[in-house]
Amino acid sequence: MPRKRKGARSLAGSLHDASADRKRTCRERKPRPDKKKKKPSTAGDDAATASGRGGVVMTAPPASGRAAPDSPGRGLKRKVGCIESATRIGRKKRLEAEYELGDEIGQGKFGSVRICRAKAGGEEFACKALPKNGEETVHREVEIMQHLSGHPGVVTLKAVFEDADKFYLVMELCSGGRLLDEMARDGTFSEQRAALVIKDLMSVVKYCHEMGVIHRDIKPENILLTKTGKMKLADFGLAARVTNGQKLSGVAGSPAYVAPEVLSGSYSEKVDIWGAGVLLHVLLLGSLPFQGGSLEAVFEAIKTVELDFNSGPWESMSVLGRDLISRMLDRDVSSRITADQVLCKSRQFLIQHNFMFIFTRF
């Protein structure tokens, strides 16, 4: 019986592969030759932005520290061939050819957001317009959204367009508004409701961290709600890609939510846990934990103010709730809990709360 040559494929296998190739909808993009040799960008090379109350713009220098080898599922770039072609930058198609712009629904320091309707079918989306003077930042935001696409808790990028002056990011429309608006309307949240928010948020943050992405701007303005109340994490303009063990440097984020290690100049994905801890404080008490009359005073409070979770309004909170927030706002990064641990603790709290509710009814 003749021996099969190494690397040879059977006829059945070849036919199967050919059939699969015909069905494949995403194709590998041909690399475009660079006219100029550019200096490789690093995870920390970005201009930090923030808007509204306490917004600050600072430049984050290149990432410091050695990157450890990649681990499966973390920091691995999604294959270009499997990225939706409509979300690629550099396409010649124009926004007005496929969408009609409607009313403005948001305004930030660096751009605006308007309703847009698809000419084919009439479905509504949100269109974020960004000026081209921040081109590198836009490229990074688009690349990260492509990398994270598919998770139900991440706002979906539908298409990218550009003209001479602006980029246009067409994204799913979250008609429920921002978490910030819900907080302003409803006031403080109950422990159970706050735990539900943190659980849903940590589910997305855990996914981001597993994919090698640090959001760096966790705050209620960047958490959107669908019509049914489902949470979506948005605005990846400050997000950074890292590999295992890599440290970032440079101040980036919104001042009141910035972690103390960011101010010290070397930090990891645990800055997102701190930001979520600040959010939890606002949800439960209706106030920021670290305040001041100036930017410097806020930063000083973040570095030095000791929070007491055993007195005042915290006395009426559950032990599990107090333990959770104290471990999220731990200045010692090595002992600050991870997204997975926050997720587990928030689930424990909800289980305990539901048990107590059932127990007290009988």
Residues identified as active-site: 217
Residue 295 to residue 51: CA distance in whole angstroms: 14
Q: In the beta sheet, which residues pair with residue 247? A: 64
- Find out whether 259 and 270 touch, Cβ atoms under 8 Å: yes
Asked whether 169 and 128 are in contact (CB, 8 A), the reply is yes
CA distances from 155 to 149, 180, 223, 225, 323 (A): 8, 17, 9, 10, 31
The whole-angstrom separation of Cα 41 and Cα 241 is 11
Question: Ramachandran region of residue 283, left (φ > 0), alpha (ψ -120 to 50) or beta?
Answer: alpha
3-state secondary structure of 284: helix
Q: Is 118 exposed, middle or buried (0-12, 13-18, 19+ CB in 10 A)?
A: middle
Detail the residues annotated as belonging to a binding site.
128
Going by C-alpha positions, the residue among 99, 208, 190 that lies closest to residue 154 is 208
- The span from the CA of 161 to the CA of 93, in Å, is 7
SS3 of 213, please? strand
> What HEC string does 162-209 produce?
ECCCEEEEEEECCCCEEHHHHHHHHCCCCHHHHHHHHHHHHHHHHHHH
Question: Tokens 């706050």 belong to which residue?
Answer: 194
Q: Which of 229, 88, 48 is nearest to 153 (CA)?
A: 229
Binding residues for ATP: 128
Helix residue spans in the chain (DSSP H): 11-23, 95-98, 135-148, 179-186, 191-210, 260-264, 271-285, 295-304, 319-328, 339-361
Helix axes 271-285, 319-328, angle to 10 degrees: 140
